[in-house]
Structure 1
Amino acid sequence: MKVLAIVGMAGSGKSTVAEYFKNQNLPVLSFGDLIREEILKRGLEITPLTEPIVREEIRNKYGMDACVKLSLPWIQAKLIKNSFVIIDGIRSFSEYKSLKKEFGDKLVVLALFTSKHIRYKRLASRTIRPFKRDEAEARDYREIEKIELGGTVAIADFMIINDGLQEELFHKVETLLTNLVTKVS
């Protein structure tokens, strides 16, 4: 059994890879969805401004590893029936440390790397939650400085460069998944 945590900057392809895993019938938990659900519960609109505010409020209340604390029961329940659980979007190094403490060597971190120029174009062209260049750049700085994202990327077990076509990304992910399944078997 493995917990595969996907990490990367906004626009690096985390949601695309998570969707790929969903299509492989693997259970996927999105930490971003947890935050967006909380935004909607509060009666707010999901925007590039509300997401970081609510995310920081949740972390102030529960700690930098809030998403892990809130989702551990779901992860543990899914691992009873599945050999893999995918977590889309771990951010803080505290989240990584909590997952590592809970799952040890069963935790595998996949970092997606995409140059900022490509990420900013992707973010601007999103139909849902688009970001202007200055918003994307501000988010990058906030995630590196306040959310400790750099450490999570640096500690990754695997890295995929996602500067090409989606088909290339899926091929790289399939190769990784095949290697992980072989190691689990």
Structure 2
Amino acid sequence: MIALVGLAGSGKSEAGKVLQALGYTVVYFGGAVLEEVRRRGLEVTAENEREVREDLRRQHGMAAMAILKLPEIERVQAQGAKVAVDGLYSFAEYELLRERLGHRLKLIAIHTPRALRYQRLAARAVRPLSPEQIDQRDYFEIKNLDKGGPIAIADVHLVNAADAETLHRRVEEAVATLENSI
């Protein structure tokens, strides 16, 4: 199982597309938040996502997204498929998955310069963010979710400061390296 870690706009979802093309089933941890936002009948906005994300963590603890998505991960693995997690956030989520999977869990950290993340997140069609919203989210996730821990201890670190093709090639190379090390 490979989990993608990085700040918003770093390229995790784009890397997830590569993993999907390589035969991985992608489980989007942020999907737990979006599902709950919709279940509550709320509009999908950065503010509503933040509110729901924080509420889910109050209910389930810091490993909330892993707890909520673990049945899906286990179902996919039971079918014999390889799993990729898009958006592991907290160190508690990492610990829960590591407890279940041991050294079979590999992390790919994707790093992108802040100015480029601002451009990408402002231009995205779904849920665009302003620089202020990005900074608020970054600071909250680093300070309150311990998001930096999984990024720091990743097995592979990729810089995504070029085009999508370059990222795709780097992800493919990283996956080949990780699969050969298991």
Q: Does 1:158 align with 2:147?
A: no
Equivalent residue number for residue 80 of structure 1: 78
Structure 2 unaligned regions, length at least 5:
none
TM-align CA RMSD? 1.2
Q: Does 1:138 align with 2:161?
A: no
Q: Does 1:118 align with 2:100?
A: no
Structure 1 unaligned regions, length at least 5:
none
Q: How far did 1:48 drift?
A: 1.0
1:4-19 aligned within 5 A: 4-19=2-17
The ranges of structure 1 where at least 4 consecutive aligned residues each deviate by more than 6 angstroms after the TM superposition are: none
How high is the TM-score relative to the length of structure 2? Answer: 0.95
Q: How far did 1:83 drift?
A: 5.2
Equivalent residue number for residue 93 of structure 2: 95
Distance in 1 between residues matched to 2:106 and 2:34, nearest whole Å: 25
Provide Cα deviations, 1:66-85, integer angstroms capped at 9, x if missing partner: 11112222212212333521
Distance in 2 between residues matched to 1:25 and 1:151, nearest whole Å: 28
Secondary structure, aligned partner of 1:122? helix
Secondary structure, aligned partner of 1:135? helix
How high is the TM-score relative to the length of structure 1? Answer: 0.94
Distance in 1 between residues matched to 2:117 and 2:161, nearest whole Å: 9
Distance in 1 between residues matched to 2:180 and 2:153, nearest whole Å: 22
Give the count of matched residue pairs. Answer: 182
* Aligned partner of 2:127 among 109, 126, 129: 129
* Aligned partner of 1:40 among 26, 38, 47: 38
